[in-house]
Structure 1
């Protein structure tokens, strides 16, 4: 059992390395499905559908968009995670769900999606970290590391101090940093102990998402190799 858990943890850490988060409203005038496919082609290792904010899709339109995103992720063998919407995730058999502290409680989500699906939880302090560990979260998200405009409800900038502290205290829990991360500033996040970085705007708003992702991949590979 412990060996299986270690293998799962190692796999999750690999999948978190370059974690793309996007909704239909994040790509401006660009076709979001085209942006996603270019990002997948470039080599993102995980994708989260976060369909929130003004003009976000709802109902059948949201489900159709989610299924289209899921199909692309399956083609590139990349995990497809749904943010917050547990009903949608269950309905389309997504690979997992990510929840924040203001969403449905992680314990209930784990019970609803089962133990074999990926569960990610946003945490902002040690007590939230311990709660995530207790309910069997597969990874935690921490941030915003830097100033971000992608989330209207973003918490105050936290830097990398919490990532460093939590990765030291709980090394078995995979951590992904999020918030204002770019090719130019991601290194301190990994150096602090994160398994990977979550990107929204730097990819979703890029003129060429494929080239942007390739730059991330090359830079991250150099950072991982040198650590």
Structure 2
């Protein structure tokens, strides 16, 4: 099976969170993040009605397509298929990787969360296109996220052939601590969407991510 994701797609992976919106719309904030250099978009909604989710997903899909960046839905496989998103991202408790791959077919992106080397290797074997590994730092966004050590992150990156993005508590202040881990980029929420200027925040994180990734060479 071909891989549907490139390593450079992981540089600045943004995950939506409407709790930070203020007076802006989600579309406006996502546009600002894309303008600032986002390379991948994941839409994550935990408490939205189905029809509202579909409407939002279609709008954000158009933004991602116009920018030429990959776009996936978190967890909701049926919505991802209904709106013809580029793919889906699932966690360890969201169903078997192989089963999800069968549902979405070979040409859609399948991202999988992993906290251990065993989970990472299994996900790759079962058809994941990329891995989201974390939480690499403590995070208020996902309070049940288990910590992943630098050593585990590095071991995963060295052991799989698919791209790996680090997630969890990543900020402008700590991002460069991931240097040397061989990770392909960072996934962020509050580091971009909770900041006063979303576009400027995205630009800063993108530059830091590029610097961090270059340290892997």
Give the TM interval when normalised to the shorter protein: over 0.9
The CA deviation at 1:193 is 1.2
Where 1:215 maps in the other structure, the secondary structure is helix
Q: Residue in 2 aligned with 1:115? A: 106
Offset, 1:95:
0.4
Which aligned pairs between 1:111-150 and structure 2 lie closer than 5 A? 111-150=102-141
Q: Which residue of structure 2 aligns with residue 33 of structure 1?
A: 27
1:84/1:100 contact within 8 Å kept: yes
Partner of 2:170: 181
Q: The residue matched to 1:191 in structure 2 has which SS?
A: coil
Whether 2:150 is the aligned partner of 1:160: answer yes
Residue among 40, 45, 49 paired with 1:51:
45
TM-score, structure 1 as length reference: 0.88
The CA distance in 2 between the partners of 1:168 and 1:72, in whole Å, is: 33
Task: Quote the Cα distance in structure 1 between the aligned partners of 2:175 and 2:151.
Answer: 14
User: What count of residue pairs does the alignment treat as equivalent?
Assistant: 216
CA displacement at 1:30 relative to structure 2: 3.5
Offset from partner CA, 1:60-82 (integer Å, 9 cap, x none): 11111111111111111111110
- Displacement of 1:225 in angstroms is 4.3
5+ long unaligned stretches in structure 2: none
Task: Write out the 4+ residue segments of structure 1 that deviate beyond 4 Å after TM superposition.
Answer: none
CA drift of 1:166 comes to 1.4
For residues 192-223 of structure 1, give each alpha carbon's deviation from its aligned partner in whole angstroms, at most 9, with x where no partner exists: 11111000111111110100111122223334
For 2:72 and 2:213, locate their aligned partners in 1 and report how far apart those are by CA, in whole Å.
Answer: 24
Contact 1:48 1:81 in 2 (8 A): yes
**How big is the shift at 1:186?**
1.3
1:193 and 2:182 aligned: yes
Shift of 1:28: 4.5
For the aligned residues, what is the CA RMSD?
1.8
Cα distance between partner residues in 1 of 2:62 and 2:175: 29
Q: Shift of residue 27 of structure 1?
A: 3.0
Q: TM-score, normalised by structure 2?
A: 0.92
Cα distance in 2 for residues equivalent to 1:190 and 1:95:
29
Local SS of the residue matching 2:158: helix
Q: Which runs of 5+ in 1 are unaligned?
A: none
Taking structure 1 as reference, are residues 110 and 42 closer, same or farther at Cα in structure 2, changes over 3 Å only?
same
Q: Could you tell me which of 46, 58, 64 is aligned with 1:67?
A: 58
